[in-house]
Structure 1
């Protein structure tokens, strides 16, 4: 027998907008948290009591008001491609799935304004058809939504030139608060830091304006090296050359290239590889740089095949981890930032401590305008204790870790955590938005 809040939700949204069947609830209560064996154990049994599927902002506001009255937790969901349990309901309640709010509202010079449920792959295709392209997007772009990326991601393809989400790539947002009468906020500037990578804990983002760039014709290249050091020096030199327009510079040591089954035949056993997206016409310069560092170009996908076939970006960022786990389910990963000046010493320290079981994977990015060798190392999982011993060692040699094995937001974010806490208190006084993802309690006696 339905309880009162369920009856009200059904009246508001109808059978298509409020779903209670167990199959849908199970499917939409999960994301890709299983990349982490730690999160897999903690989150695999979590389940929403209902799924809310609004089709417009009015239904979003009505749902939030109803949930507020009945003290029902609301966990927002985009495409469900996050890796930290961002979209997993820790305390039941409802999952608000926003995939039907998927209209591209406006494309202008240097920006695109869209509803939160637009898939990034759809937006990229539309932009390129009109002479533009996304500045940054994740490797999961075919499934990931704009809202999910902004609320749960950080960077991706394009970050080597355009930085991360915090680096001016989000221009504006429309956000709804979780109150008796939800407020509609139009947010820009510094205030955006309260909502980027906040997991929907500070408000429900329904519309976003993203920075875009002029369309470039991208060639994809695999460059092979005998060792990781040579591959890293090549990558850094390439990144620092402003004459070579870049969208992706991804550096991996062996055995990671062996996991990339569709392209493994192009990479010799024991080799390090660099996966690139650079502007059409840059092959001579790449070949020269590779030769200077003892490498060679092994495979080229011409620009006219870009996004037409399986691309190299499908093997970078956290897709690298996915291919590794497919090859060996005992593998997992870390997220880290190496020093831009002494990363080779850090690599040496780590390889001496862990000659086996740590396989290095770097994504070169501009972070706050500075070139950084960001890393998503693939590691062999033995136990949670061993994993955190490994994290402690990385940090002891100056490698900053953003822990991907916790669902709790922390100070690792580029956004101001204190500011996010302030927005949480102002917008969600009963702590009903994705509860458990921030360490906060209800205020004002709520």
Structure 2
């Protein structure tokens, strides 16, 4: 910590952000240098991959820009960080330097007809709640629903809502206020197609400080839980359920081994394959008929945003995290897309 440029940057940032907005404490630097990369056995063997020398916590979009400008002037590497929930080391400061922790810049600044605007540190669940209060819903949110909007747009790709709306680069982003790594950095507003180069580029093209994403009219969702004797029965209907109209927000199915590792829930019975979905109320009867025709049974249908959020938090990478906790060093996540997930399941396993 005797590096003169770092010391000079620390002093400047304390003037800008206050003492609570800057930390050089080892524990804070270690927390800011860690994400979910331990889920990968390849990356886990290499950890730790970097340690921040300084952590800054700007409280709004304008201070994000000012912090970036200060770091660039002092020649200090910058690693932007949302909530640190990524699984692939995106938030690890491999070059040391400054970690720009944006979790305190979390204001939701506007909810309009068909859009919502928030600072980078606002959680996706907070955006969804604010949109719901206005009779709307965001097009999608990641399985880690408490991740930040800046982190999701920079390092995520899809999640709940992707069956209908695809990835977060498929028309989800209406506009961004970004910060470029230049000595006089300021907020740069980009909209429409001009915003797309900043999506899923991990902050390398520019750091997202504020985002406007698209919303749609709120639907009446239900959390749908079903179980089957075999996984083959579950996947025999998963595609049909996903093709119901209105389109489900999410459909997931897991082997009994994996379902047994999920958080205890009476709607996820032990030793049975589990299917979970977020369905429009109008499609629950059709989904029930499909499940029963395949030899399964409906365990529960739940109302309310929390039921949907619970199902989201047990989708995508999350079941693997639960599985790794239940069976350490035995399982890891493999990304497979397309119809192979259903048609070639034996090869996937």
In structure 1, the residue matched to 2:116 is: 112
Scaled by the length of structure 2, the TM-score of the pair is 0.91
Scaled by the length of structure 1, the TM-score of the pair is 0.72
Is the counterpart of residue 347 in structure 1 residue 334 in structure 2?
Answer: no
Gaps of 5+ in 2: none
In structure 1, the residue matched to 2:256 is: 254
Within 2, Cα distance between the matches of 1:118 and 1:199? 17
- 1:97 aligns with one of 78, 93, 101: 101
In structure 1, the residue matched to 2:312 is: 313
CA contact (8 A) 2:268 2:274 kept: no
- 2:199 aligns with one of 187, 196, 199: 196
SS of the residue aligned with 2:171? helix
Would you identify which runs of 4 or more consecutive aligned residues in structure 1 move more than 4 Å?
A: 342-345
Within 2, Cα distance between the matches of 1:12 and 1:37? 40
Post-superposition shift, 1:282? 3.0
Post-superposition shift, 1:320? 1.2
SS of the residue aligned with 2:169? helix
Within 2, Cα distance between the matches of 1:261 and 1:58? 40
Within 1, Cα distance between the matches of 2:77 and 2:250? 39
In structure 1, the residue matched to 2:290 is: 289
**1:266-308 deviations in whole A, cap 9, x for unaligned?**
4352x3221111122433212211122222212222x1x4316
Is the counterpart of residue 56 in structure 1 residue 54 in structure 2?
Answer: no
Within 1, Cα distance between the matches of 2:289 and 2:20? 58
Is the counterpart of residue 79 in structure 1 residue 89 in structure 2?
Answer: no
Using a 3 Å threshold, how does the CA distance of structure 1 residues 103 and 164 change in structure 2: closer, same or farther? same
CA contact (8 A) 1:43 1:88 kept: no
In structure 2, the residue matched to 1:224 is: 227
CA contact (8 A) 2:60 2:119 kept: no
1:276-425 aligned at under 5 Å gives the runs 276-301=277-302, 303=303, 305-307=304-306, 311-330=310-329, 331-338=331-338, 340=339, 344-350=342-348, 358=349
Aligned positions, number? 344
Gaps of 5+ in 1: 351-357, 359-446
CA contact (8 A) 1:119 1:145 kept: yes
1:11-50 aligned at under 5 Å gives the runs 11-44=15-48, 46-50=50-54
**1:220-254 deviations in whole A, cap 9, x for unaligned?**
11222333333223111122232x44111012223
Within 2, Cα distance between the matches of 1:45 and 1:232? 39
Superposed CA RMSD: 2.1
Within 1, Cα distance between the matches of 2:131 and 2:152? 17
Moved more, 88-97 or 178-187: 178-187
Is the counterpart of residue 131 in structure 1 residue 135 in structure 2?
Answer: yes
SS of the residue aligned with 1:251? strand
Using a 3 Å threshold, how does the CA distance of structure 1 residues 238 and 327 change in structure 2: closer, same or farther? same
Using a 3 Å threshold, how does the CA distance of structure 1 residues 55 and 310 change in structure 2: closer, same or farther? closer
In structure 2, the residue matched to 1:438 is: none
Within 2, Cα distance between the matches of 1:187 and 1:224? 46
Using a 3 Å threshold, how does the CA distance of structure 1 residues 282 and 95 change in structure 2: closer, same or farther? same
Post-superposition shift, 1:171? 1.1
**1:139-176 deviations in whole A, cap 9, x for unaligned?**
221x3111111111111111122221011111111111
CA contact (8 A) 1:78 1:97 kept: yes
Using a 3 Å threshold, how does the CA distance of structure 1 residues 250 and 265 change in structure 2: closer, same or farther? closer
Within 1, Cα distance between the matches of 2:279 and 2:267? 22
Within 2, Cα distance between the matches of 1:76 and 1:178? 11
Within 1, Cα distance between the matches of 2:268 and 2:65? 52
Within 2, Cα distance between the matches of 1:264 and 1:255? 16
Within 2, Cα distance between the matches of 1:344 and 1:156? 18
